[in-house]
């Protein structure tokens, strides 16, 4: 089962600057063979369910290793059986209608 997720990881208890943790997660996702699409409020990733969520877990482990005692993450996850659609195709589908 393919899944597209939008991942927003917020480390809590390490001050207000979170960009170094987000950058570390980009590396974790890339190392997992995924292609992260970074945007201003999260990262979109598409792939097989198990691979994607194993990478999300690896992000949590990495951010804890970097010193964050608590992490508050928001994930949107979409699956569909009618067709496949990449992140780029989702954006194009809207842009054609603008």
Taking the C-alpha atoms of residue 21 and residue 70, their distance in angstroms, rounded to an integer, is 12
**Gap between the Cα atoms of 41 and 4, Å rounded:** 16
Who's near 75: CB < 8 A, 6+ residues apart? 5, 6, 7, 8, 56
Binding mask 33-52 for a copy of itself (x = CB under 8 A): ----xxxxxx-x----xx--
Contact between 2 and a copy of itself by CB under 8 A: the answer reads no
Which residues in the 52-71 window bind a copy of itself by CB under 8 A?
53, 56-57, 60-61, 64, 69-71
Nearer to a copy of itself, 33 or 41 (CB): 41
* Contacting residue, 29, 33, 75, 84, with a copy of itself by CB under 8 A: 75
84 binds a copy of itself (CB under 8 A): no
Query: Would you state the structure tokens that stand for residue 42, as one six-digit string?
Result: 């999260």
């Amino acid at each position: 089962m393919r899944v597209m997720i939008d991942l927003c990881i917020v480390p809590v208890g390490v001050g207000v600057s979170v960009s170094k943790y987000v950058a570390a997660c980009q590396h974790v996702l890339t190392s997992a063979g995924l292609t992260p699409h970074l945007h201003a409020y999260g990262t979109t990733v598409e792939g097989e369910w198990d691979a994607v969520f194993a990478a999300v877990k690896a992000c949590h482990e990495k951010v804890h290793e970097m010193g964050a005692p608590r992490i508050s993450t928001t994930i949107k996850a979409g699956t569909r059986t009618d067709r496949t659609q990449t992140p780029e195709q989702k954006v194009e589908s809207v842009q054609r209608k603008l």
